[in-house]
Amino acid sequence: MTLLDEYYCKRTQLIADDRALRVDVVNADRFSEKSRQADVILRRIREEEAKSIWAVEHEDVPHPFPGMEFLTGKDIILKTQLFNIITKMPKGALLHVHLDLTVNGNTLLALALQHSSIHIRASARVTPDSIKSVEIEFRPLPPSFVPQCISLCLPTYRSGQWIPLRRAREQFDAALGGTQGFDCWVASCLTINPSDAYVTHNNNIRIWDKFRVAATLTSNLVYFAPVWRAYIRQFLEETIADGVSYVEARINFSPKYMIGPDGEQNVPHKEWLSMFQDVLVEFNGDLRAQGREDEFIGAKIIYTVIRNCEPEELEWYLNDCIEMKKFFPSIIAGFDLVGDENILRPLKDYLPQLLSFSTLQTSQGLPEHHHIPFIFHAGETTGDGSMADENLYDALLLGTKRIGHGFSLAKHPMLMSMCRERGVALEVCPISNEILRLTASMPMHPLPILINHGVPVALSSDDPSLFQNMGLSFDFFQVLAASDVTGLLTLGHIARDSIQYSMLTADEKARATLKWEERWERFVDEIVEFDGVRRN
């Protein structure tokens, strides 16, 4: 054997040994032969489309590439066969989504327009010059309110005057596009646009400013009882249509009341959840009537509070969460603190309260098997040793069942092995991470590193109303497009495991997994069959 032959032998062996540890290889035997064929087909389509679609220029999208910035590349994604196939994939559980940031701006506006009590105001008269910079706000007002102006665009409009939303729309200046212009403008205020994410707010610190403005504006419309019901229904319908069969959604309970039909801020948390429960019952009934009950396992809520409250005040919320668990034992699935970890309070600030949560639950009479687990956001940062990064230590020490984001976990070998050993899954939100500027594009995302090291993950959408990634297809697509490690088998493995990492009971998980497996087999059958037809 020559020196070169010997080298090639070693090289081949090393590659084989390394590949054997790759997540798609490790998990290959969990899948059927058809699944493996479908994986090969999708790899082929991915390669073809990398050339035929992503390597050519598109109008308005210079230099595209697979896994590129989502807001810029979305229209191209929609043209791919790969995406079309992924929309049909059974996705399992959606475990990280902020319910009040799910339904897209146009749909939310349409819901809001059904209610004459909803008003809008602006920081200045809206003109072609001011439209890009005026700040707006929505609010349902009591029937007794008498508006002083009927259009945001009149010279007589004074900053801060409330105008009925419908009137504001009808009277929107023709020079600004009339009603259509109004709809586009409002919808754009409710989302993050490519120029926000990639130009004006192009890093993880700045983008939160835009995030806060859009999220606050959205909550003005969502936290209104008559909209709330329709909103939840809309969210569930769109989510299920995308192949998700179970949801654990976070609700921001920081506001103690939402606005009721009378325009007063007087609807307590118990009512929010009671409406949620009603919608669920109704939705289940409708699915059953359509013979679609197999598509939906259910939905639960993770109680969240913004991490800016005083530690003493957190006690009120922890008690409230326990109270809600008593009223809705099958709905409340966990507790979490949310908001920008870079600047808001770290978990460490709340240790006395969080450490006594378990005894508090016992003393409030919650049986052990109904105790509310922590499911903390942590490490949603590019920082290393920063406050946000250190949240990972506290989340794990406090016994979190999963980690929301955990973006910085890949920098911590010991924490990675803790997650692996304890089965603590990361709720990875690929598109959110990219738009919030933790990674510039998907090929740079640490996901393949994490999964090859055996860290359990579930893919999630986070804030679809802001990011335009409703359902899970877009996030699965971005992951599929970005790395060789994440072929169809890896996506399937992640989707199936999402049920295991949910807060369902062991029995429920077993049933949900069976249903998922049936759907998966039908899905891969179709891919293989269709490919046969296409090639003949």
Smaller CB separation from ligand NOS, 66 or 379: 379
CB 285 to ligand NOS: min, Å = 28
Structure tokens at 10: 């070693």
Residue placing its CB nearer to ligand NOS in the complex, 378 or 524 = 378
Going by C-alpha positions, the residue among 342, 322, 345 that lies closest to residue 334 is 322
Q: What minimum distance in Å lies between the beta carbon of 343 and ligand NOS?
A: 11
Shortest gap between Cβ of 431 and ligand NOS (angstroms)? 11
Nearer to ligand NOS, 183 or 434 (CB): 434
Nearest position to ligand NOS, beta carbon? 252
Nearer to ligand NOS, 169 or 300 (CB): 300
CA dist list (Å): 426 to 210, 377, 433, 466: 26, 9, 13, 21
What minimum distance in Å lies between the beta carbon of 168 and ligand NOS?
A: 25
Q: Specify the pairing of strand 457-459 against strand 136-140.
A: unpaired
Residue 263 token pair: 């325009």
Which phi and psi (to 5°) does residue 508 adopt?
-60, -40
Rg (CA), the chain: 24
Nearest CB to ligand NOS, comparing residues 252 and 469 = 252
Least gap, CB of 349 to ligand NOS (angstroms)? 16
Q: For ligand NOS, which is the closer residue by CB, 303 or 393?
A: 303
Instruction: Tell me how far, at minimum, the Cβ of 525 lies from ligand NOS, in Å.
Output: 36
Enumerate long-range contacts of 210-216, CB under 8 Å, 24 or more apart: 211/340, 211/436, 211/463, 211/466, 213/135, 213/189, 214/189, 214/190, 214/466, 215/100, 215/101, 215/463, 215/466
Residue numbers of the site for ligand NOS (CB under 6 A)? Answer: 98, 100-101, 215, 250, 252, 306, 338-339, 377, 380, 432, 462-463
Query: How far apart are CB 136 and ligand NOS at their closest, in Å?
Result: 17
Tell the burial category of 229 from Cβ atoms under 10 Å away from its Cβ (0-12, 13-18, 19+): middle
> Rounded CA gap, 257 and 269, in Å?
7
- Closer by beta carbon to ligand NOS, 164 or else 339: 339
